[in-house]
Amino acid sequence: MSQSNQPQPPEPQNTPAQVMKDYLIITLGTVIMSLGVYFFMFPNNFTTGGVDGLAIILGSILPVSRSTLMLVFNWGLLVVGFLVLGKDFGIRTAYESVLYVGIVWVLEHFFPMSGPFTDEPLLELFFAIGLPAVGVTLLFNVGASSGGMDIVAMLIRKFTNLNISTALMMANILVVISGGMVFGLKTGLLCIMGMTIKALAVDGLIERINNHKYFNIITDQPEMVCDFIVKDLNRSATIVNGTGAFTHDQKAIILSVMSGYQAMRLRQFVHRADPKAFITITNTSEIIGHNFRDRKV
Protein backbone atom coordinates (compact mmCIF):
# COMPACT_ATOMS: atom_id res chain seq x y z
CA MET A 1 0.00 0.00 0.00
CA SER A 2 1.47 3.30 -1.06
CA GLN A 3 1.75 6.06 1.44
CA SER A 4 1.14 9.62 0.27
CA ASN A 5 3.05 12.41 1.86
CA GLN A 6 1.35 15.71 2.28
CA PRO A 7 3.54 18.60 1.13
CA GLN A 8 4.76 20.74 3.95
CA PRO A 9 4.91 24.51 3.64
CA PRO A 10 8.47 25.74 3.28
CA GLU A 11 10.11 27.48 6.18
CA PRO A 12 10.53 31.18 5.51
CA GLN A 13 14.18 31.92 4.82
CA ASN A 14 15.94 35.21 5.24
CA THR A 15 17.88 36.17 2.14
CA PRO A 16 21.46 37.49 2.49
CA ALA A 17 20.19 40.94 1.50
CA GLN A 18 17.51 40.81 4.22
CA VAL A 19 20.02 39.63 6.83
CA MET A 20 22.38 42.46 5.89
CA LYS A 21 19.54 44.95 6.09
CA ASP A 22 18.55 43.65 9.54
CA TYR A 23 22.10 43.97 10.87
CA LEU A 24 22.41 47.47 9.46
CA ILE A 25 19.21 48.39 11.33
CA ILE A 26 20.54 46.74 14.50
CA THR A 27 23.79 48.69 14.14
CA LEU A 28 21.95 51.98 13.59
CA GLY A 29 19.65 51.33 16.55
CA THR A 30 22.59 50.47 18.79
CA VAL A 31 24.51 53.61 17.79
CA ILE A 32 21.49 55.84 18.49
CA MET A 33 20.90 54.16 21.85
CA SER A 34 24.58 54.45 22.81
CA LEU A 35 24.66 58.18 22.02
CA GLY A 36 21.63 58.82 24.20
CA VAL A 37 23.02 56.83 27.10
CA TYR A 38 26.55 58.23 27.03
CA PHE A 39 25.96 61.90 26.18
CA PHE A 40 22.73 62.47 28.11
CA MET A 41 22.06 59.68 30.60
CA PHE A 42 25.56 59.30 32.09
CA PRO A 43 26.35 63.01 32.74
CA ASN A 44 22.97 63.60 34.43
CA ASN A 45 22.99 60.36 36.47
CA PHE A 46 19.64 59.33 34.99
CA THR A 47 19.14 55.82 36.36
CA THR A 48 15.98 54.80 34.52
CA GLY A 49 16.56 51.10 35.11
CA GLY A 50 18.46 48.28 33.49
CA VAL A 51 22.16 47.53 33.44
CA ASP A 52 22.89 51.12 32.38
CA GLY A 53 21.31 52.49 35.54
CA LEU A 54 23.14 49.97 37.69
CA ALA A 55 26.45 50.96 36.07
CA ILE A 56 25.72 54.67 36.72
CA ILE A 57 25.05 54.01 40.42
CA LEU A 58 28.02 51.74 41.04
CA GLY A 59 30.29 53.93 38.90
CA SER A 60 29.69 56.81 41.30
CA ILE A 61 30.60 54.66 44.31
CA LEU A 62 33.38 52.40 43.05
CA PRO A 63 36.69 53.51 41.49
CA VAL A 64 35.67 51.93 38.19
CA SER A 65 34.44 53.65 35.03
CA ARG A 66 30.83 53.21 34.00
CA SER A 67 31.77 51.76 30.62
CA THR A 68 33.90 49.13 32.38
CA LEU A 69 30.98 48.19 34.63
CA MET A 70 28.70 47.97 31.60
CA LEU A 71 31.27 45.73 29.94
CA VAL A 72 31.44 43.43 32.96
CA PHE A 73 27.65 43.24 33.39
CA ASN A 74 26.71 42.88 29.73
CA TRP A 75 29.44 40.49 28.71
CA GLY A 76 28.94 38.48 31.89
CA LEU A 77 25.26 38.13 31.06
CA LEU A 78 26.24 37.38 27.47
CA VAL A 79 28.38 34.42 28.52
CA VAL A 80 25.67 33.15 30.87
CA GLY A 81 23.15 33.49 28.06
CA PHE A 82 25.19 31.36 25.71
CA LEU A 83 25.99 28.73 28.34
CA VAL A 84 22.49 28.42 29.75
CA LEU A 85 20.17 29.35 26.90
CA GLY A 86 22.21 28.01 24.00
CA LYS A 87 20.83 28.61 20.51
CA ASP A 88 17.65 30.14 21.95
CA PHE A 89 19.72 33.06 23.19
CA GLY A 90 19.99 34.66 19.76
CA ILE A 91 23.01 35.82 17.81
CA ARG A 92 21.38 39.20 17.22
CA THR A 93 21.20 39.92 20.95
CA ALA A 94 24.85 38.90 21.28
CA TYR A 95 25.90 41.17 18.41
CA GLU A 96 23.95 44.13 19.79
CA SER A 97 25.25 43.65 23.32
CA VAL A 98 28.92 43.54 22.25
CA LEU A 99 28.49 46.50 19.89
CA TYR A 100 26.66 48.55 22.54
CA VAL A 101 29.33 48.15 25.19
CA GLY A 102 32.07 48.73 22.62
CA ILE A 103 30.58 52.04 21.44
CA VAL A 104 30.13 53.35 25.00
CA TRP A 105 33.72 52.33 25.86
CA VAL A 106 35.09 54.15 22.79
CA LEU A 107 33.05 57.28 23.56
CA GLU A 108 34.22 57.35 27.17
CA HIS A 109 37.86 57.16 26.17
CA PHE A 110 37.85 59.50 23.18
CA PHE A 111 35.02 61.91 24.07
CA PRO A 112 35.13 62.30 27.86
CA MET A 113 32.20 64.18 29.41
CA SER A 114 32.89 66.40 32.43
CA GLY A 115 29.21 67.31 32.84
CA PRO A 116 25.89 67.72 31.03
CA PHE A 117 25.67 69.71 27.79
CA THR A 118 23.16 72.14 29.30
CA ASP A 119 21.80 73.22 32.68
CA GLU A 120 18.26 72.15 31.70
CA PRO A 121 17.61 68.69 33.20
CA LEU A 122 14.24 68.27 31.47
CA LEU A 123 15.81 68.98 28.09
CA GLU A 124 18.59 66.51 28.85
CA LEU A 125 16.02 63.94 30.01
CA PHE A 126 14.17 64.30 26.70
CA PHE A 127 17.24 63.18 24.75
CA ALA A 128 18.31 60.65 27.40
CA ILE A 129 14.95 58.92 26.93
CA GLY A 130 14.16 59.74 23.31
CA LEU A 131 17.34 58.48 21.66
CA PRO A 132 17.41 55.09 23.45
CA ALA A 133 13.67 54.70 22.79
CA VAL A 134 14.25 55.12 19.05
CA GLY A 135 17.19 52.71 19.18
CA VAL A 136 15.29 50.04 21.12
CA THR A 137 12.34 50.37 18.73
CA LEU A 138 14.59 49.69 15.74
CA LEU A 139 16.00 46.62 17.50
CA PHE A 140 12.59 45.22 18.41
CA ASN A 141 11.37 45.74 14.86
CA VAL A 142 13.93 43.27 13.48
CA GLY A 143 13.66 40.77 16.32
CA ALA A 144 16.73 41.84 18.29
CA SER A 145 16.99 43.03 21.87
CA SER A 146 19.23 45.35 23.83
CA GLY A 147 20.82 42.63 25.97
CA GLY A 148 21.29 43.37 29.67
CA MET A 149 17.95 42.99 31.41
CA ASP A 150 16.52 41.21 28.37
CA ILE A 151 18.97 38.37 29.03
CA VAL A 152 17.82 38.31 32.66
CA ALA A 153 14.25 38.04 31.37
CA MET A 154 15.18 35.00 29.27
CA LEU A 155 16.77 33.36 32.31
CA ILE A 156 13.70 34.08 34.45
CA ARG A 157 11.45 32.59 31.79
CA LYS A 158 13.60 29.45 31.58
CA PHE A 159 13.86 28.63 35.28
CA THR A 160 10.80 30.11 36.98
CA ASN A 161 7.09 30.65 36.58
CA LEU A 162 7.35 34.32 37.48
CA ASN A 163 5.70 36.95 35.34
CA ILE A 164 8.67 38.34 33.40
CA SER A 165 7.31 41.82 32.83
CA THR A 166 6.46 42.19 36.52
CA ALA A 167 9.86 40.90 37.63
CA LEU A 168 11.74 43.23 35.29
CA MET A 169 9.58 46.19 36.25
CA MET A 170 10.33 45.58 39.93
CA ALA A 171 14.04 45.30 39.17
CA ASN A 172 13.99 48.58 37.24
CA ILE A 173 12.07 50.30 40.03
CA LEU A 174 14.71 49.17 42.53
CA VAL A 175 17.42 50.65 40.28
CA VAL A 176 15.51 53.93 40.03
CA ILE A 177 14.97 54.11 43.80
CA SER A 178 18.64 53.37 44.41
CA GLY A 179 19.57 56.12 41.98
CA GLY A 180 17.36 58.56 43.86
CA MET A 181 19.00 57.61 47.15
CA VAL A 182 22.49 58.10 45.70
CA PHE A 183 21.95 61.21 43.55
CA GLY A 184 19.14 62.97 45.37
CA LEU A 185 15.38 63.36 45.26
CA LYS A 186 15.31 65.62 42.18
CA THR A 187 17.26 63.15 40.08
CA GLY A 188 15.16 60.30 41.42
CA LEU A 189 11.90 61.98 40.43
CA LEU A 190 13.29 62.74 36.96
CA CYS A 191 14.29 59.10 36.61
CA ILE A 192 10.81 57.89 37.57
CA MET A 193 9.31 60.23 34.98
CA GLY A 194 11.88 59.12 32.41
CA MET A 195 11.22 55.42 32.99
CA THR A 196 7.50 55.95 32.49
CA ILE A 197 7.91 58.07 29.37
CA LYS A 198 10.38 55.60 27.86
CA ALA A 199 7.95 52.69 28.21
CA LEU A 200 5.16 54.69 26.57
CA ALA A 201 7.48 56.03 23.85
CA VAL A 202 8.78 52.59 22.84
CA ASP A 203 5.26 51.14 22.64
CA GLY A 204 4.06 54.11 20.60
CA LEU A 205 7.03 54.05 18.22
CA ILE A 206 6.74 50.30 17.59
CA GLU A 207 3.06 50.67 16.79
CA ARG A 208 3.76 53.67 14.57
CA ILE A 209 6.47 51.92 12.56
CA ASN A 210 4.33 48.84 11.97
CA ASN A 211 1.11 50.74 11.38
CA HIS A 212 -0.88 49.79 8.26
CA LYS A 213 -4.41 50.37 7.02
CA TYR A 214 -6.93 47.53 6.87
CA PHE A 215 -9.64 48.07 4.23
CA ASN A 216 -13.14 46.61 4.18
CA ILE A 217 -14.79 47.76 0.93
CA ILE A 218 -18.36 46.91 -0.07
CA THR A 219 -18.69 47.74 -3.75
CA ASP A 220 -20.47 46.96 -7.02
CA GLN A 221 -17.16 47.27 -8.90
CA PRO A 222 -14.94 44.59 -7.35
CA GLU A 223 -12.98 43.80 -10.52
CA MET A 224 -12.04 47.42 -11.10
CA VAL A 225 -11.04 47.97 -7.48
CA CYS A 226 -9.00 44.76 -7.28
CA ASP A 227 -7.22 45.55 -10.56
CA PHE A 228 -6.15 48.88 -9.09
CA ILE A 229 -4.96 47.22 -5.85
CA VAL A 230 -2.94 44.57 -7.69
CA LYS A 231 -1.58 46.50 -10.70
CA ASP A 232 -1.19 50.03 -9.35
CA LEU A 233 -0.52 49.46 -5.65
CA ASN A 234 1.28 46.11 -6.00
CA ARG A 235 -0.74 44.64 -3.14
CA SER A 236 -3.28 41.86 -2.96
CA ALA A 237 -6.84 41.52 -1.76
CA THR A 238 -9.51 38.99 -0.84
CA ILE A 239 -13.05 39.10 -2.24
CA VAL A 240 -15.92 37.85 -0.08
CA ASN A 241 -19.54 37.61 -1.24
CA GLY A 242 -22.08 39.23 1.07
CA THR A 243 -25.78 40.01 1.29
CA GLY A 244 -27.23 43.31 2.49
CA ALA A 245 -29.38 42.83 5.60
CA PHE A 246 -31.83 45.58 4.56
CA THR A 247 -31.88 45.36 0.75
CA HIS A 248 -30.88 41.68 0.41
CA ASP A 249 -28.72 42.72 -2.55
CA GLN A 250 -25.61 40.69 -3.34
CA LYS A 251 -22.44 42.65 -2.74
CA ALA A 252 -18.71 42.02 -3.07
CA ILE A 253 -16.61 42.73 0.01
CA ILE A 254 -12.93 43.43 -0.63
CA LEU A 255 -10.42 42.95 2.19
CA SER A 256 -6.91 44.37 1.88
CA VAL A 257 -4.03 45.73 3.97
CA MET A 258 -1.54 48.36 2.85
CA SER A 259 0.57 51.35 3.87
CA GLY A 260 -0.80 54.78 4.65
CA TYR A 261 0.21 56.28 1.30
CA GLN A 262 -1.30 53.35 -0.60
CA ALA A 263 -4.45 53.68 1.50
CA MET A 264 -4.83 57.30 0.48
CA ARG A 265 -4.58 56.38 -3.21
CA LEU A 266 -7.05 53.50 -2.86
CA ARG A 267 -9.56 55.65 -1.01
CA GLN A 268 -9.45 58.26 -3.78
CA PHE A 269 -9.76 55.62 -6.52
CA VAL A 270 -12.74 53.86 -4.94
CA HIS A 271 -14.51 57.18 -4.50
CA ARG A 272 -14.13 57.85 -8.24
CA ALA A 273 -14.86 54.29 -9.44
CA ASP A 274 -17.86 53.62 -7.20
CA PRO A 275 -19.20 56.68 -5.33
CA LYS A 276 -21.77 54.45 -3.56
CA ALA A 277 -19.14 52.10 -2.16
CA PHE A 278 -19.05 51.63 1.63
CA ILE A 279 -15.54 51.72 3.07
CA THR A 280 -14.23 51.11 6.57
CA ILE A 281 -10.53 51.71 7.30
CA THR A 282 -8.87 50.46 10.47
CA ASN A 283 -5.37 51.04 11.81
CA THR A 284 -3.50 47.83 12.50
CA SER A 285 0.10 47.15 13.52
CA GLU A 286 0.09 43.37 14.03
CA ILE A 287 0.10 41.81 10.56
CA ILE A 288 1.55 38.36 9.92
CA GLY A 289 1.74 37.07 6.36
CA HIS A 290 3.40 37.38 2.99
CA ASN A 291 5.13 40.74 2.39
CA PHE A 292 4.40 41.84 5.94
CA ARG A 293 5.90 39.73 8.74
CA ASP A 294 6.78 36.38 7.21
CA ARG A 295 10.32 36.17 8.62
CA LYS A 296 11.21 34.14 11.67
CA VAL A 297 12.81 36.34 14.30
Residue 30: the pLDDT is: 93
Burial degree of 31 (CB within 10 A; 0-12, 13-18, 19+):
middle
DSSP state of 5: P
Angle at 180 between CA 175 and CA 185, to 5 degrees: 155
Low-confidence ranges of the chain (pLDDT < 50): 1-12, 294-297
Spatial distance between the Cα atoms of 94 and 74, rounded to a whole number of angstroms: 10
Per-residue pLDDT tens over the stretch 212-255: 889 999 998 899 999 999 998 988 899 999 888 887 788 899 99
Strand partners, 250: 243
Position 131 scores a pLDDT of 92
Question: What per-residue confidence (pLDDT) applies to 15?
Answer: 76
In this prediction, residue 89 carries a pLDDT of 61
Pick from 171, 172, 175: nearest CA to 183: 175
Distance CA 37, CA 96 (A): 15
Q: What pLDDT, on the 0 to 100 scale, is given for residue 88? A: 55
Give tens-digit pLDDT for 232-243.
Answer: 898 889 999 988
Strands in 212-219's sheet, in edge-to-edge order, are 238-243, 250-258, 212-219, 278-284
Count of beta carbons in the 10 Å neighbourhood of residue 253: 15
Backbone angles phi, psi at 256, to 5 degrees: -160, 155
Give the rounded distance of the alpha carbon of 87 from its chain centre.
22
pTM of the prediction? 0.69
CA–CA gap between residue 49 and residue 235 (Å, rounded)? 42
Q: What angle do CA 29, 177, 96 make, to 5 degrees?
A: 20
Per-residue pLDDT, 27: 94
